[in-house]
Amino acid sequence: MRRPLARTLTAFAAAALLLPLAGCGSGEPAGLVIYSGRNENLVKPLVEKLEKHLGTNVEVRYGDSAELSAQLLEEGDKTEAGLFLSQDAGALGALSKEQRLAPLPRTTLDKVAPAHRGSAGDWTGVSGRVRVLGYAPAQVPAPPNSVHELVKPEWKGRIGFAPTNASFQAFVTGMRVLEGDDATRTWLKGLKANEPKAYDNNLKVLDAVDKGEVAIGLLNHYYWYEQVAEKGADKVKAKIHYLPEGDPGGLVNVAGVGILKGADEKQAGYAQQAVDYLLSAEAQKYFAEETKEYPLVAGVKTAEGVPPLETLQPPKIDLGRLDSLKQTLTMLQDVGLV
């Protein structure tokens, strides 16, 4: 019995080694390669529209924004990618800092408010998301109107947050810009003293609120709309609350896009057209309707049920000033939240 097993194994090994090689190099070469930190389920239909618009094949590598940015940094100018579509501003900022992004033309940049694009002019936001409080109505009849309430003792052990998530850190950076380092550090210490529960990402925070594991959670608005779409409105117990009066907890964050240096001229051309497409009415409408985000180009409406940006009172912060992420992280580490 041993002999046949060894022989089967060898044959199996040989076949297994050769099989995948046969499948290589299929299809036409792509005109544009995109590294996308945004989920395939969210952007695939948009990519198909983009392909039609450009008239060329578009290949997309999906991954985690931070991991893809690390990969792009390792690849350097040998990258095949022409475009980086990021879930958050931080990953684009990291590439911008290492001078891996090509400058965008003024006409492109001017479509988006300066607050929603990179200060070096090498990346731009394409869709916005608002930080909100998720809450369990059964435990919280009236949600607080400011994150400053959350350091009160009544919230001890009842808060969920995602400290390693980029959008939470952008919020803390925003608070530092608005209220100064000392006030922010005091708030963070108060939060820590309330023993908040740390989750991996916004979705898990929302899930925890929904299950009543925590009473209140800090998250982005669109996760709630996604859950309602997935499970049905009656099955989602959590509710969300938009913070008024410029509270730092109501920061508007963006998902953005940048063109990579090192792409050949042809791909760079497609990449430029792709950026303009993502800022076109068609693509902006897609973000509004499909991912329930905020369009960043004037004249496109938000989805039904999502309050328009004009009716909200987000803090007035220039996203270009959110690049002091390092100090934020140091502060979070000092306080012991990450």
Partner 1 sequence: MTSPELSAPARRETRPAGAPAPAGRRRAGTRPSWVLIVPAVLAAALAVLPLGYLAVRALERGPAYAWGVIADDRTGELLLRSLGLTTTVVAACLLVGVSLAWLTVRTALPGARAWSVLVTLPLAVPSYVTAFAWLSAAPSLAGFTGSALALTLVSFPYVYLPVAAALRGTDPGHEEVARSLGHGPFRTFLRVTLPQLRPAAAGGGLLVALYVLSDFGAVSLMRYDTFTRGIYTSYRASFDRTPAAALSAVLVVMTVLLVAAETRTRGRADYARTGTGTARRAVPAALGRLRALALAWCGAIVAVAVGFPLATLGYWLAVGTSATWDPATLSTTALTTLGVAAAGAALTTLVALPVGVIAARHRGRLAHLLEQAAYAGHAVPGITVALALVFFAVRYARPLYQETPLLICAYMVLFLPVAVAATRAAVLQAPPVLDDVARSLGRTPFGVLREVTLPLAAPGVAAGAALTFVVCMKELPATLLLRPTGMDTLATRLWTETGTGSFAAAAPYAAALILLAAVPSYLLGRHRP
301-320 positions binding partner 1, by CB under 8 A: none
Phi, psi of 264 (to 5 degrees): -70, 170
CA dist list (Å): 145 to 181, 241, 242, 326: 22, 8, 8, 28
Q: How far is the CB of 302 from partner 1 (least distance, A)?
A: 20
Q: Which of residues 147-186 bind partner 1 (CB under 8 A)?
A: 163-166, 169
Select from 152, 156, 211, 237 the one that contacts partner 1 (CB under 8 A).
211
Q: How far is the CB of 110 from partner 1 (least distance, A)?
A: 28
Q: How far is the CB of 169 from partner 1 (least distance, A)?
A: 6
Smaller CB separation from partner 1, 40 or 154: 40
* Strand 216-220 versus strand 197-198 pairing type: unpaired
Phi, psi of 226 (to 5 degrees): -60, -45
Q: How far is the CB of 136 from partner 1 (least distance, A)?
A: 13
> Contact, 292 vs 303, CB < 8 A?
yes
Q: Is 329 in the site for partner 1 (CB under 8 A)?
A: yes
Closest CA to 95 of 128, 115, 118, 125: 118
Smaller CB separation from partner 1, 152 or 237: 237
Q: Is 13 in the site for partner 1 (CB under 8 A)?
A: yes
Q: Is 290 in the site for partner 1 (CB under 8 A)?
A: no
Binding mask 85-124 toward partner 1 (x if CB under 8 A, else -) reads -----xx-xx------------------------------
Smaller CB separation from partner 1, 11 or 193: 11
Closest CA to 331 of 172, 138, 115, 165: 172
Q: How far is the CB of 243 from partner 1 (least distance, A)?
A: 23
Which window, 34-42, 134-142, 257-265, 269-277, contacts partner 1 (CB under 8 A)? Answer: 34-42
Q: Which of residues 233-252 bind partner 1 (CB under 8 A)?
A: 235
Which window, 33-41, 101-109, 279-287, 302-310, contacts partner 1 (CB under 8 A)? Answer: 33-41
DSSP 28-66: PPPSEEEEE-S-HHHHHHHHHHHHHHHTS-EEEEE--HH
Binding mask 39-78 toward partner 1 (x if CB under 8 A, else -) reads xxxx----------------xxxxxx-xxxxxx-xxxx-x
Closest CA to 159 of 137, 138, 136, 127: 136
Spatial separation of the C-alpha atoms in residues 220 and 144, rounded to whole Å? 16
Q: Is 80 in the site for partner 1 (CB under 8 A)?
A: yes
Q: Is 3 in the site for partner 1 (CB under 8 A)?
A: yes
Smaller CB separation from partner 1, 33 or 300: 33
Burial degree of 277 (CB within 10 A; 0-12, 13-18, 19+): middle
Spatial separation of the C-alpha atoms in residues 123 and 202, rounded to whole Å? 24
